[in-house]
Structure 1
Amino acid sequence: MTRLLLAAALLCAAPAADARLYEAAAKAKAAWMTVSSIKTGQEYYLEVAQDGQAVMREETSKSVLTRRGAIKPFLAKDFFREIENSEIINSQNVKQSKMVFYRGDMLKVSAYISGELTRTVAPLNNFGEAFSYAFGEVKKAVAALPQESKLRAFLRAEPVEGDELASYRDKVSADGELKVLETAELQKVRELMAAIKEPFRLVPIENEERLRVLQEFITSRQLYGLRTLFYLTSTRGTYKLQVLDTARTQAPERKKAPAAAPKKAKASPATKKR
């Protein structure tokens, strides 16, 4: 009888274990990054999975453009090989002194190394020639994908630490008690849970209904902030969350009508001679 119960327990546990292994494997095959220009201040987001699924979001002062689709898997595999072999990502040793006079692109990349989620911030040219080449090929392929038109929004979570965390706690304490949400609460909104588990990743909010679910959660839990930029304290830590547009265009400026030419003064009629 004991053996039967043990066997049944193992059978029940197997699917859950398989699900966890599958989830870990899926995470290990994704990387997301933000590339920003120190010179222009502009930045773009790039995400790629080893099977070729990719996302790019570009934002300027005038527009937001999102591309989503699949690139050739061999490009993604080459890029992941360079990520795994990258000395700077594996060592996490970024010397800030080398960035003082740097005016090129900065790369902030999140990737799973040996099953652990890492975050590396460094000048793009510090990653080496092979990495830069593989990155450039992936970027070029993703930039050729069609523009995404159906996706409603993205949700991004950023850990709040240091002085920002102290400031947040002071503001919340002044208004009332700091609420700590349990993981079970966060799991009620899958996009919210996904964003917190993988900081800095843009989690898709596929449609208006999913956005409404998130907004209702923010309101019902009285979270600090707005519906598009809010803070959340959980057993996993404190996060700043932002809902980002997938598309935006600036209305063209109306051309001003050319100024009318000044009217010539009419000549006074000649005085008749008597």
Structure 2
Amino acid sequence: MKNKILYAIISLFFIPSIILAFRGYDEKNTAEKIWLEVDWPAKKSNYYIEIDSEGRFMAKEEKNKKIFIREGQIKKMYAKDFFRETKNSEIVTRQNPDESKTLFYNGETLKISTYINGELRRAEAPMKNFSDSFKFAFSEMKKEIFKTPSQNKYSAFLTAIPLTGKLLGDFESKGSRVEDLKIIEIKKLKSQTKIFEAVNFPYRLIPLKNDEEISEISDFIHKESLPGMKSLFYIATTRGNFQCSVIEPR
């Protein structure tokens, strides 16, 4: 009996979190992309991978306090296998709005995002919880990607995270109110292509090639009077509210 209770308590920490009912602006171009982050605190390992159904990828790895960027294309069969296993994964597709995190867990954790039937799925769970076929497809894809030599050709990355849960609490604790955020309409949002892409693909890392692209984001923030600065700013759209950041590789 004690073992069952302990198992139930531990299980609460391993429930994947999923964003429900978020639909991107451009459903035609959201269908065949997967982006993910793997964090392994015990081994001080962290890396990000995004890949499309044709095998085109971008990977960002943090190792020994250095950043390594890899970009290219692997054989389509590796991407195809991984897409199949992701779309068939109960962890990814399960309709469970619980946002419990992997508390006290120091192993390998996967945070994975993709659009399924036009809706964004975002799951976070220990890698060991995924099926053997998923882990095999992931491992084969990763091995092919990490064969590519690194080339740090980007100045920074832009990311947008839905302003919900703890982020919303932090935002409001500063005396800010969501109601005060000015909604940026789709036409104006599309004029800043990088921000548009970021809010269309929450949690994804959008590459910024040079200082000019970074400056254009700063100019948009100033022009639209968005709260914050390029390192951390907030934006309201017709698809929801987001916390955005420009992350510069160290």
Matched, 1:49 2:59: no
Say whether 1:64 aligns with 2:64: no
CA contact (8 A) 1:157 1:241 kept: yes
The higher-RCO structure (CA 8 Å, 6+ apart) is 2
2:124 partner amino acid: V
- Checking the alignment, whether the CA contact within 8 Å between 1:169 and 1:178 is kept in structure 2 is no
Q: Could you say if the C-alpha distance between residues 96 and 222 of structure 1 is closer, same or farther in structure 2, counting changes exceeding 3 Å?
A: closer
Are 1:215 and 2:218 an aligned pair? yes
After superposition, give the CA deviation of every residue in 1:154-213 in whole Å (9 maximum; x if it has no partner): 111001113532442453649xx5433222322210010110111001112233322221
The separation in 2 between residues aligned to 1:144 and 1:89, in whole angstroms, is 27
Give the alignment partner of residue 123 of structure 1, picking from 114, 126, 131.
126
Alpha-carbon spacing, 1:159–1:208, altered in 2? closer, same or farther (3 Å): same
Query: Which of residues 218, 228, 231 in structure 2 aligns to 1:228?
Result: 231
Change (3 A) 1:83 1:102: same
Judging changes above 3 Å, is the alpha-carbon distance between structure 1 residues 97 and 108 closer, same or farther for their aligned structure 2 residues? closer
Question: Alpha carbon RMSD of aligned pairs, Å?
Answer: 2.7
* Residues in 2 aligned to 1:146 and 1:205: alpha-carbon distance in whole angstroms: 20
Contact 2:68–2:152 (8 Å) recurs in 1: no
User: How far has the Cα of 1:150 moved from its partner?
Assistant: 2.8
8 Å CA contact 1:36, 1:42 repeated in 2: yes
TM-score by length of 1: 0.72
Query: Against the structure 1 CA distance between its residues 133 and 24, is the aligned structure 2 distance closer, same or farther, given a 3 Å change threshold?
Result: same
Q: Which moved more, 1:90-99 or 1:204-213?
A: 90-99
Task: Specify whether residues 122 and 142 from structure 1 end up closer, same or farther in structure 2 by C-alpha distance, changes over 3 A only.
Answer: same
Displacement, 1:82?
A: 0.8
**Conserved in 2, the CA contact under 8 Å of 1:69 and 1:146?**
no
Aligned to 1:7: none
Say which SS state the counterpart of residue 107 (structure 1) adopts: strand
Encode CA deviations 1:15-71: one digit per residue, 9 max, x unaligned.
xxxxxxxx5344221100011114245421111111010111112562111111111
**Does 2:79 align with 1:76?**
yes
Single out whichever of 66-75 and 213-222 deviates more from structure 2: 213-222
Choose which of 188, 198, 206 in structure 2 pairs with 1:185: 188
TM-score by length of 2: 0.79
Q: Which runs of 5+ in 1 are unaligned?
A: 1-22, 249-274
2-structure distance, mates of 1:198, 1:98 = 21
**Cα gap change, 1:215/1:172 in structure 2, threshold over 3 Å: closer, same or farther?**
farther
User: Which residue of structure 2 lines up, in the alignment, with residue 204 of structure 1?
Assistant: 207
Deviates more, 1:235-244 or 1:29-38: 235-244
Please name the residue that 1:242 is paired with: 245
Measure, in 2, the Cα distance between the counterparts of 1:80 and 1:122. Answer: 18
Give the whole-Å Cα distance in 2 for the aligned partners of 1:170 and 1:179.
19
Number of matched pairs: 224
**1 CA distance for matches of 2:212 and 2:59?**
23
Q: Which amino acid aligns with 1:28?
A: A
Match of residue 164 from structure 1: 167
Q: Which amino acid aligns with 2:227?
A: Y
Contact kept? 1:88, 1:127, Cα under 8 Å? yes
* Paired residues of 1:92 and 1:120 also in contact (CA < 8 A): no
- Aligned residues: percent identity? 38
Answer with 1 or 2: which has the greater Rg.
1
Give the Cα–Cα distance (whole angstroms) in 2 for the partners of residues 97 and 161 of structure 1: 14
